[in-house]
Structures are given as structure tokens and as C-alpha cells.
Structure 1
Amino acid sequence: MSDSSAPSSPGIIHEFPRDRIQEHINGSARTNLSPMYIPPPYLPGGKRALSGVSIRAFGLGIALGISTVLTLELAYWGNGLWRAPCFIATLAIFHYLEFDMTARYNPPDASISSFLLLSNGIGYAAAHASATLELLIRYWLYSDYAPRWLGLPFHIPRILPSIPTSITVGLGATLIVVGQLVRSAAMRQAKTNFNHVVQWTKKADHVLVTGGVYAFSRHPSYFGFFWWGLGTQLLLGNRICFVIYAVVLWKFFHHRIIHEERHLVSFFAEDYIDYRKRVPVRIPFIR
């Protein structure tokens, strides 16, 4: 990140006062110090700005801490709204790990967008907002803990039979943990071969990874996110959003896998074709 020689690309040349102070302390007679070159992407406002990384990590940490406390407090008192802060905590962990795994195992591609906070588009935010809204509406209509001033003057009967909370919460939490672990393991094992964006051209160091979780699923990061997403809706107890999430995620990954594998076949030819025949995706109805 620092270089004593100024490169050909435009950047910022900066002399840090602490360098001169250190020279004075050490008794050095040198007065001409080599300036430090800071690449523009690392400066505030750049796509790799360290200040941008720190503020996002700080915000996710605050969200995780507050949400965890609220989850435990509401669950202790038996209030069903504990699911809302638990959902936020789950999202905070997911987005932090997206950047952390990229920074650790694929540092050349690590940037602010690796958090995936805004780069997934408005549809991603709308999906999570809808999931939270369904939980709040269900709480408003059926919870015994809802304030009386929020109650309706008439009763709305449940259309579908209720499912024990222990089943939905247990299964949802399991899918979330398994999905997150598989996705993070995929990023760790693929290293620089992993990218959040479908690659159109093959890099010189791009290799086909077929071991570890890639021997279980040929797209383990998609497998992980698919089941992670459905797990969040089971945890929330959402029936409508569970169906919507399943349909939207399936269509998204089905289209993306077809598109991505065209490029992978062009990159690795028969090696990838044999791998595709041998290893499934493990998302239902996607071969």
C-alpha cells in the first residue's frame, strides 16, 4: 500500500509528519524523506477506502450487539418479537463475513462492495423489509403481547394450521448455520478463484476447484445462500415470505448458474463438463 517511488498512475503523494519526528528521535541527519504514495482507491471515497471499511464494520458490530441483547431480552420474557432483532443479527453476521472471507482469502478483490450491503440492489433490501413486515403484521394480528391500542375491533381467524415454534426455529437456525458455514468454506477454499461477480474472462491464475465443499456441491456458495435465506424465513415464522424467497432465490440461481457455467465450460472445457456431470448443485430441481 506504500511505495517510495511514484507510479505512473495518478495518486496522492503525502509526507507524514510522524516520519520526520521519528527521524529526529533517532538522531538521523537525513532531511529528505521519500514521500509515501497512497493509491486513490484507499483514500476516503474510494472503492477500497479503509475509512469506508471501518465504518461499515463498526456499524455491523453495533447492529449485532444491540440485536443480540434485544433478542435475549425479548426471548427471556416470552415475547415473539425476539425474531426481528435475531434476523437483524443474522444479517449483520452474514454481511461481515462476506467482507472478512474476501479480505482473508481473496485480498486482491476485497473492497467496500464485498460487504454486499448495497451492491445486491433494491430487490435485496425489499425482500428483507418484506420479511420483517410480515413478522410485525402477524404479531399485530395474533400475538397476546400486542398492546390493546394496536388491536383490531374484530378477530381475523388463522387460515393455516399453526406449527410448533420449536420446529420452525430449530430447523431455521440449522439451515442458517449450515448455509453460512458452507458459503464461508466455499470462499475460503476457492481463494482468488472466488468472485461475487460472474467472470467473463479467465485470469491467468484461475484454476478449477473441485475438492472440499466443491466435491459436495459444484456451487457451494449458492447452495449456502439458498438454504440460509430459507432458514431466515423459518426462523421468523414467515409463511408467505418463505414461499416468495424460495421462488425468487431458485429463479435467480437457476439463471445465474446457467449463465456462469457457459463461461466455466469455455475456461476449463472437458474438465468442467466432467465435473458438472459428477457433482450436483444440491439446490432442488437445478442440475
Structure 2
Amino acid sequence: MRAFPSPSANVILEAFLNQFRSISGIEIAVIIEILNYEACRQLSQMFLAVIFFHSSEYVLAVAVHGRSKEYWWISNFGLLMVIIGEIIRKMAIITAGQSFTHLIKVHHEESHKLITHGVYRFMRHPSYCGFFVWSVGTQVMLCNPLSTIVFALVVWRFFAKRIPYEEYFLRRFFGSEYEIYAQYVPSGVPFVK
């Protein structure tokens, strides 16, 4: 059996294996080795990709624009956008609680409630608004006008298609209650009704 990096992980694994020795004739140790190796490999690949792609973007921005103090206020404004966008998105997730999901629900569940309080009083899709502000803010922070425009267009187009699709189901789930809510509260994404 392959040794794990920490002794405590080996102890936990051994205790687990002693309780559940086999599943349909396949040793659990073999399954855990495969899953553990695959999980570690995929996780390390993800971290390396994030480090490479994000750090290369910042290095390129510094190489092209330099460390000019001339545009510090634009970069700081972008940072402010990132912070505000993140706060709006987190407030939306916390306020919605169990009703929040990353997937559009196509079937109404009992736990699914129409949330109209908190940040949802001001916009119907605060999570989308927060992500839009955050994503554009990352590019403003880098003082990259071309990427700012491209990010804004791509993210806006995504939400311009997603919001009507999601609202079709919200209208089916909540009927006139959602119609009245949508009539008085904006979507939160510019130019999306």
C-alpha cells in the first residue's frame, strides 16, 4: 500500500480499511490509492494552472505598462470594484441561504423560496451583479483597457442569456409573486431587464 505524506493520514486510512475490507471483491485499498492519486494529481494541476495563468497575466501587465505611478488611481479603482463585487456576491449567497445554487433549477423544490429581502430588495440577481463588477474590476485593476472591454462584453452576454432563462423558471415557480417583484426591482446587470 502507498504511504501517505502524514502519519495521521495513514492511521485514519488503516482504521477505515479495517472496518470496510472489501467491496464486491475489490480491495478498498486499491480504490483509495487510485482516488487519492487522481485527486492529488488533479488538485496540483489546478493550482499550477491558476498560478501560471494568473501570475503570467500580472507579469505581462507590469512588463507592458511598467510600475508607473501615473495610473495608480485607476488600479485602486479596479481594486475597489473587485472588493465591492465580492461583497455584493457574498451578501447574495448568504441572504439566499438554501435557495442559492450555481445551477438553474428547472423543478421547484419545497426548500426553494423567493428571496426579496436583504440585497435582493435592490436587485433581482445580486450574485450576477457582484460577479460582473468583480470580473470587470480585475481588468480595470490591471489597467488593461482592451481586456476590460472584452471581459465586460463576454460576462454581460453570458448574463444577458442566462437571466431570461432563469427567470422563465422563477415565473413558473412563483407566478404573480415573481411578476410583481420583477416589475419593481431591476435585474442588477446593466441593460438586462
TM-score (norm 1): 0.49
Would the aligned equivalents of 2:128 and 2:159 in 1 still touch at CA under 8 Å? yes
Q: What is the Cα deviation at residue 166 of structure 1?
A: 2.2
Root-mean-square deviation over aligned CA pairs = 3.9
Matched, 1:232 2:138: yes
Matched, 1:176 2:76: no
Matched, 1:195 2:101: yes
The higher relative CO (CA closer than 8 Å, separation ≥ 6) is in 2
Larger radius of gyration: 1
Q: Please give the alpha-carbon distance, in whole angstroms, between the structure 1 residues aligned to 2:69 and 2:178.
A: 43
Q: Deviations over 1:172-230 (max 9, x none)?
A: 11110111111112111212211111111111211111111111211011000000001
Matched, 1:252 2:158: yes
Give runs of aligned pairs for residues 1-287 of structure 1, distance below 5 A. Answer: 17=15, 52=39, 56=43, 132=57, 136=60, 139-141=62-64, 143=66, 164-287=70-193
Would the aligned equivalents of 2:128 and 2:188 in 1 still touch at CA under 8 Å? no
Indicate the residue corresponding to 1:101 in structure 2: none
TM-score (norm 2): 0.71
Q: Deviations over 1:151-187 (max 9, x none)?
A: xxxxxxxxxxx99422211111111011111111211
The size of the alignment, in residue pairs, is: 170
Identity %: 30
Change (3 A) 1:171 1:211: same
The structure 1 segments of at least 4 consecutive aligned residues displaced by more than 4 Å after TM superposition are 43-46, 138-142
Structure 2 SS opposite 1:237: coil
Q: Please give the alpha-carbon distance, in whole angstroms, between the structure 1 residues aligned to 2:150 and 2:100.
A: 28
Gaps of 5+ in 1: 1-14, 21-33, 68-83, 89-128, 146-161
Change (3 A) 1:164 1:276: farther
